[in-house]
Amino acid sequence: AQTVTQSQPEMSVQEAETVTLSCTYDTSESDYYLFWYKQPPSRQMILVIRQEAYKQQNATENRFSVNFQKAAKSFSLKISDSQLGDAAMYFCAYRSAIEFPNQFYFGTGTSLTVIP
């Protein structure tokens, strides 16, 4: 089974600054998808960004971008111009493109604090 590792249980960032959350994964597959989810205090899981493994270009969604290093099996999330509303738990997730049935594999999460 695939494993997803988030080695930073907690991170903090000053408002308006940039922070990077780390994620590594272990797989023998060449085709897969990676996701970052945000879970604010309401506990509603929200998709932040998605990356297709076959794409070399890093995904970007407004202030959120990823650094996808396929050979290193690394998938970090960069949050620019951090805002108070970014404070949340962030989960990295992996989904195989070829496995059936499709399971999602989640990391243990990183708790992000935004300091005013």
Partner 1 sequence: DGGITQSPKYLFRKEGQNVTLSCEQNLNHDAMYWYRQDPGQGLRLIYYSQIVNDFQKGDIAEGYSVSREKKESFPLTVTSAQKNPTAFYLCASTERSSYNEQFFGPGTRLTVL
Which residue in the set 61, 102, 113, 115 belongs to the binding site for partner 1 (CB under 8 A)?
102
Instruction: Say whether residue 41 binds partner 1 (CB under 8 A).
Output: no
Shortest Cβ 5–partner 1 spacing (Å): 10
Buried-exposed string 24-62: b where 16+ CB fall within 10 A, e elsewhere: bbebeeeebbbbbbbeeeeeeeeebbebebeeeeebeee
Which residue in the set 38, 77, 82, 96 belongs to the binding site for partner 1 (CB under 8 A)?
96
Binding site for partner 1 (CB under 8 A): 6, 9, 32-33, 35, 42-45, 47, 50, 52, 91, 93, 95-98, 100-104, 106-109
